[in-house]
Amino acid sequence: MKLLLASGSPYRKQLLERLELSFECRAPDIDETPQRDETAEKLALRLSAAKAQALAAAYPDHLIIASDQAAQLGSTILGKPGTPARAIEQLTACNNKTVTFYTGLCLLNTTTGKQQIDCVPFTVHFRNLAREQIANYIKKEEPLDCAGSFKCEGLGITLFTRMEGDDPNSLTGLPLIRLTDMLLNEGISII
């Protein structure tokens, strides 16, 4: 079956390329606004399924891979900052705190209608950072399109004292270990 990555994210595309599979990319157009009282985990699950479903009719006989990520600091969901000022605000709030990233993953078989869906958490423990360090980081990395205002594949790793989780790729936005399991369930072996 053909594979489609339902994403416009260059980070997710780079991660999926690591599996050396042939695939297409297309960004779905969905409303990503959190619903009232929705947790980060439920948001990530809902949006990953919605992204896959949004492209299902246009891609028959495909396996659609969709993923979405939400970060949670206490009861607050941290989205993509969009501006340097908002990124500074987010990272300042994370100082000396623990943030859990929930990465929803959906694999939809558009031939059978079978949908596999899961959420992979990953927790990071932030350092105590001075405002100047935060501003310098944002200026160098420009993480304005990243949930939580950092890129762990770059200098973002220096923001943490430790990390916890089963798949570090989930922190970048596509849990490859769980995706491999889902693909195997569809008869696709990577190696």
Which positions are annotated as active-site residues?
68
For residue 95, give the DSSP letter.
Answer: T
Length of the chain as a residue count: 191
CA torsion through residues 67, 68, 71, 77, sign: negative
For tokens 């690591």, what's the residue?
18
Q: Under 8 Å CB-to-CB from 163, ≥6 apart: which residues?
A: 122, 123, 124, 125, 152, 171
The distance between the two most distant Cα atoms of the chain, rounded to a whole number of Å, is 53
What residues form DSSP beta bridges with 163?
Answer: 124
